[in-house]
Chain A
Amino acid sequence: MFETLRQSLKTGIVTSSYPKTPVEISSHARGKPEIDWANWKDARIGASVCPTAAIACEDRDGKRTATLDLGKCIFCGLCAEADATIRMTSACELSSCSRDELKNVARYKLASDGTQQSLIEMSGAVAMPIEPSSDSFETTGRELKRRVAHVFGRSLHIREVDAGSCNGCEMEIQGLNNPIYDIERFGIHFVASPRHADMLLVTGPVTRNMELALRKTYDAMPAPRLVVAVGACGCSGGIFGVNYASLGSVDRILPVDVYIPGCPPNPYALLHGILMAIGRM
């Protein structure tokens, strides 16, 4: 007992204190890819190396429609290696309430050699952090606590369901409970039963073998309830997509309130997405 106390006291507080501490992400971290849309010459380069078709292009009548879909992106950075107009940033707070908002679509006029001559138009909002701008885990958490308190009285209870994930997302969600992020200090609690939950956090492409269990879990939740799709697989089916064993994205099964891109999304990204879901209610 004495040893336990001694070590705890010696370790001290490791939870990042707010509001001083900035987001602690290494400059090496790979987050959202950023494309210099106006000067993008050839979307086919990125499309050919992208393993999940997050970058895709389609040519018709001398025009090209090029898409960057953050819901599919696994942030591998292969496109940035192949194409200098694409740059990897460390931005990770990319959640969105709408699947379409994760897609950036640009239309180009094509040159005779198949490259892009000029940008005609762009659509799809480039996913921006929601207001107030969250420059640190703590300010995001504090804002979240305020909204949670407003909507649910005091706390938010989350039930997590792995509907087909590789376990990568689970690892980062578990990380929210570690003493560094300590999500419980914001009044957020992971619960064992859907009957106690306000929010369903779903990971993975939904597999055929998990389809029924996922539906039953959702049905067991009291209303009002929120559904958050986590990770590239949850948002879009990811690298697995739709096949004989996988139904793809979570929104093909349940109404999704917020999409959290990433492979896997880190704890900051997860918290950002949870906050967005609360803001919606």
Chain B
Amino acid sequence: MNLLPSLVSIFDELTQRFGAQIEHAHAPQPNELYLHAKRELAGALCSTFYKKYDGRLAGVFAEDARAEHDVFFVYYLYALDSKHAFVLVRVPIPAEQPELLSLTNAVHAANWQEREIQDLFGIKLVGHPNPRRVVLHDDWPEIYPLRKDFDLRTELPPFTGVRHKFREVEGEGVFQVPVGPVHAGIIEPGHFLFSVAGEPVLYLQLRLFYVHKGTEKLFESLPIPHCLRLAESISGDSSFAHATAFCHAVERAASVEAPPRARALRTLCLELERLYNHVADIGAICTDVAFVTANMHAMRLKERVLRVNEQLTGNRLLRGMACLGGVRFDFDADQLRVLAQLVNEFEKEFTELVELIRSNSGTRDRLETTGVLKPEVARNLGIVGIAGRASGFDHDLRRDFPHDFYNEVQFTVPVFTEGDVQRRMVVRREELFQSFAIIRQVLGKLPSGSIRTAVDEVPPDRVALGYVEGWRGEIFHWIHTAPGNRLARCKIKDPSLQNWPALSEAILGNIIPDFPVVNKSFNFSYSGTDR
């Protein structure tokens, strides 16, 4: 078994404790341990990883394997950050009694993901504190779309079911304020129900999945090369990050590696994506506290990046750039010069923008101590990405699980513990300065050579995990290949899926007029969550 020594010792310890109830399975990467376990062991393994190995649950998902094994499989993905390793535990759920013991009471990060399994596979959750529908809204009929015997192209009749009932919050002077799904701004749809007493928010209920469009099921119906273009449309502002995570998964399943130059170009594109999104968010946060001038400067800078994106890759959102085994377009000397110039000018102007924001004390007044997500709450909810780093979670896949060219460059990961809107903005600001450094380092040591390794038909029945630290946080794609260069299953995990509940916590006690800025400071992806 070709495993990291630390994983070998973990496996030995687990075998001593659980004996033959767990088996080792082949994993495509040395830093991944794949285990097959009895269903009853899911909870015990979970607490072992949390307590003994400083692990955390990075994802829970299911697969319909009734045709081959007569069971559903549920997978638990644990990230052992300090050991730079992943553990994937697979447990069988019998087809005739599809029930899953919920882990949500112990690990809140599992909440929506487990309910998603219940909605899409019809695996009943046992012991879940709130086992209501999430993905398929309450008025949907009883269907289980991710089961293999459900046809993707099924056109459902108009919905007649009972619509969602929100929890009632009662008391003297308590009002409910519903917002959405169509919001006032040019943003994605979702429904928020505030319960307020006076101005402060007592309770916030979230209703999402309005843009659920069957993406994971769709992955199972397309040839793998077409799936890559679909991956670009999972979350429009993270097109390249999602596409790259998908490429990593397919490349691992096919046992190929992207050449060094391709990995360097991917890193450049990932950082460009970070540049335009972070600067836009900083501007939007300023807008939400009425400092519109700063946003105008920020939008100007964002537009500049989008135009360079187009010059480098042919598309303003970097679409069409990703390709299995590498990247599609090389950058010539002129394009590299444009990029180097962008970084220099962007840095100079961004520094001025930072000074501008700093000079405006009113902005700081509104942002500090607003929308606080305490580190212990963030840890309980398993919050990742920028939101996690602003609340004390020192973690970044680029550093802890370096992919692409990130092991060739030096950078620091900014972490704060205050967890307020100001710190979420500052994390972005500091990450931008790191991005400039990363891009310069990559440009300084850009390898020559090819930009693509050919990926032929991917062998069937391979499993692989792809991951990328997108600008929002960690993105996982887990695939199981099928014959004919297709996929039997593709699980997409955008960081927003488990981060959303942070909003309900951070807004408590804040006033409704501060909600837009608190929401923007997280800037979750609706489409990435809903898929």
Contacts and interface: CB of A to CB of B under 8 A. Distances in A.
Interface stretch (A99-107, A138-146, A240-248): A240-248
A246 B213 contact: yes
A77 B359 contact: no
Given A162-B526, A175-B306, 12 more contacts: A14-B300, A178-B299, A178-B303, A204-B211, A208-B140, A208-B159, A209-B530, A213-B189, A239-B233, A240-B218, A240-B233, A243-B152
B360 interface: yes
Contacts of A180: 299-300, 303
Contacts of A75: 315, 320
A144 B188 CA distance: 27
Interface in A191-209: 192-194, 204-205, 207-209
Nearest to A6: B356
B251 to A, nearest CB: 19
Contact of A170 (B150, B186, B353): B186
Given A30-B314, A164-B213, A213 B182 contact: yes
Contacts of A204: 211, 213
Contact of B210 (A29, A52, A213, A243): A213
Chain A contact residues, majority secondary structure: loop
B312 interface: yes
Interface of B: 137, 140, 143, 145, 150-156, 159, 181-182, 184-189, 209-215, 217-218, 222, 225-226, 229-230, 233-237, 239, 293, 296-297, 299-300, 302-303, 306-307, 310-317, 319-320, 335, 352-353, 355-356, 359-360, 525-527, 530
Nearest to A238: B233
Interface residues of A, number: 65
Interface stretch (A20-28, A63-71, A108-116): A20-28
A120 interface: no
Interface in A244-281: 244-246, 263-264, 266
B319 A263 contact: yes
Nearest to A15: B300
Contacts of A163: 189, 211
B302 A243 contact: no
5 contacts: A163-B211, A164-B210, A192-B184, A244-B152, A244-B214
A167 interface: yes
Contact of A266 (B153, B184, B235, B316): B316
Given A180-B303, A244-B154, A239 B229 contact: yes
A161 B182 contact: yes
Contact of B215 (A167, A168, A240): A240
B310 A28 contact: yes
Most chain B beta carbons < 10 A, residue from A3, A88, A193 = A3
A233 B156 CA distance: 20
A133 interface: no
A7 B320 contact: no
5 closest residue pairs by CB, A with B: A168-B236, A192-B184, A178-B299, A167-B236, A245-B214
Interface string A214-227: 00010000000000
B355 A178 contact: no
A278 to B, nearest CB: 20
Contact of B356 (A4, A213, A266): A4
Contacts of B525: 167
Interface string A23-40: 011101110000000000
A175 B237 CA distance: 13
Nearest to B188: A162
A167 B232 CA distance: 11
Contact of B145 (A30, A51, A242, A245): A245
Contact of B233 (A7, A160, A168, A179): A168
A11 B300 contact: yes
A76 B237 contact: no
A209 B211 contact: yes
Contact of A30 (B143, B236, B320, B355): B320
A62 B360 CA distance: 73
A123 B239 CA distance: 35
Given A51-B222, A208-B159, A76 B229 contact: yes
B225 A49 contact: yes
A174 B226 CA distance: 28
Nearest to B294: A4
Nearest to B215: A240
Contacts of A24: 307
Contacts of A175: 299, 303, 306
A181 to B, nearest CB: 8
A264 B316 CA distance: 9
A244 B217 contact: yes
Contacts of A170: 186-188, 236
A254 to B, nearest CB: 14
A165 interface: yes
Given A30-B315, A246-B213, A217 B182 contact: yes
Most chain B beta carbons < 10 A, residue from A4, A164, A178 = A178
A88 B209 CA distance: 36
A169 interface: yes
A15 to B, nearest CB: 10
A33 B154 CA distance: 32
Contact of A77 (B152, B237, B317, B320): B320
Contacts of B214: 240, 243-246
A46 B370 CA distance: 53
Given A168-B239, A239-B230, A245 B300 contact: no
